[in-house]
Structure 1
Amino acid sequence: MSRIGKKAVGVPAGVTASLEGQTVKAKGPKGELLFTVPELISVELKDGAVKVDPRDESKLARSLWGMSRTMVSNIFVGVTKGFEKRLEINGVGYKAAVAGKVVKLSLGYSHDVDYAIPEGITIVTPKPTEVVISGIDKQKVGQVAAEIREYRGPEPYKGKGVKYAGEFIFRKEGKKK
């Protein structure tokens, strides 16, 4: 039994939720999102809450059960509060700046890396060494953060590179004479 899947997802105040077949739609102050629940999962909207249950006891249905409930919960959080990821840039001369719809990253290469900001995502740089990515879609925010981090991931010797805020980088000792 899924402990997460058993709980109904309450519709927050200020959010309009609707159910059309297997698609849950949420409209709130920040925007509109939808999630199509897999066919193995039954979904119902009643008493201001969305309840998901597996249609049968197959392994696939039980594994999709908790995920479906979490995805429905994420669309409600997204349209009310939104999601945010913070990146830190460490290294001499490493910095980021937003110029229009492009993030310019100086990451120690012979050229600057230009990253085009996708639709529905907001990127700000409060400091040259900090990047804040925000939006209403949790998957999209995480994907953008991962793509920016991928340009120069943190290395274990000096800790230079792009890392998530609060991420622990396992440090290695250098060569000894």
Structure 2
Amino acid sequence: MSRVGKNPIIVPAGVNVNISNGTIEAAGKLSKLSMQLSDAVTVEMTDGQILVKPANESTTARALWGTTQRRIKNLVNDVANGVTVNLELVGVGYRASVQGNSLSLQLGFSHDVVYTLPNGITVKCEKPTSVAITGADRQLVGQVAAEVRSYRPPEPYKGKGVIRQGEFVIRKEGKKK
């Protein structure tokens, strides 16, 4: 039995959930998102709660049970509250600024890196070395954070680069004489 999948998902106030034709749609104050459901699980809504159950006792159904429950829970919570990923720029002269619909990064290259933001994503730079990426779609926010991080990933000798908040960079010892 799945320890995660058996828990009901409580729908917060202000979120409308519609389940039909193998698709679940959630609409909240921030956005409207949908997700395709697998035939291996059954999803039903009762009394403001969503229950996910395996359709049969196959290995596939049992494997997708907990995964589907967590994806639906994230979908419902994200349209209500949103998702934020915080990035820190560590390095001498590393700075970020928002200009309209683009993020301008100075990462030690001879040129500025300009990243165009997709629809549904907002970025705030409260300090020149911190970037907060916010949106309603968890996958899209994570993808944008990964693309920004890929311009200058953290390096192990000096610890410079674009680092997610809470990430620990394993440091290596330099050359010895």
Q: Which TM class, normalised by the smaller chain length?
A: over 0.9
TM norm structure 2:
0.96
Report the secondary structure of 2:25's partner residue: strand
Report the secondary structure of 1:5's partner residue: coil
What is the CA distance between 1:157 and its match in structure 2? 0.7
Q: Which residue of 2 aligns with 1:37?
A: 37
1:74-104 C-alpha deviation (Å, 9 max, x unpaired): 1111111110000000111111111111111
Matched, 1:68 2:92: no
Q: How many residue pairs align between the two structures?
A: 177
Q: Which residue of 2 aligns with 1:151?
A: 151
Report the secondary structure of 1:69's partner residue: helix
Report the secondary structure of 1:127's partner residue: coil
Instruction: Tell me the distance in 1 between the aligned counterparts of 2:112 and 2:13.
Output: 44
Q: Which residue of 2 aligns with 1:135?
A: 135
Q: Which residue of 2 aligns with 1:123?
A: 123
TM norm structure 1:
0.96
Q: Which residue of 2 aligns with 1:28?
A: 28
Q: Unpaired runs of 5+ in structure 1?
A: none
What is the CA distance between 1:21 and its match in structure 2? 2.1
How much identity, in percent, do the aligned residues show? 50
Report the secondary structure of 2:105's partner residue: strand
Instruction: Tell me the distance in 1 between the aligned counterparts of 2:47 and 2:124.
Output: 39
- Which amino acid in structure 2 is aligned with residue 35 of structure 1? M
Instruction: Tell me the distance in 2 between the aligned counterparts of 1:8 and 1:163.
Output: 35
Instruction: Tell me the distance in 2 between the aligned counterparts of 1:23 and 1:170.
Output: 42
Q: Which residue of 1 aligns with 2:168?
A: 168
- Which amino acid in structure 2 is aligned with residue 76 of structure 1? V
1:49-68 C-alpha deviation (Å, 9 max, x unpaired): 11111112222211111111
Instruction: Tell me the distance in 1 between the aligned counterparts of 2:24 and 2:175.
Output: 56
Moved over 6 A (4+): none
Instruction: Tell me the distance in 2 between the aligned counterparts of 1:152 and 1:59.
Output: 41
For 1:51-66, list aligned pairs within 5 A: 51-66=51-66
Instruction: Tell me the distance in 1 between the aligned counterparts of 2:114 and 2:64.
Output: 37
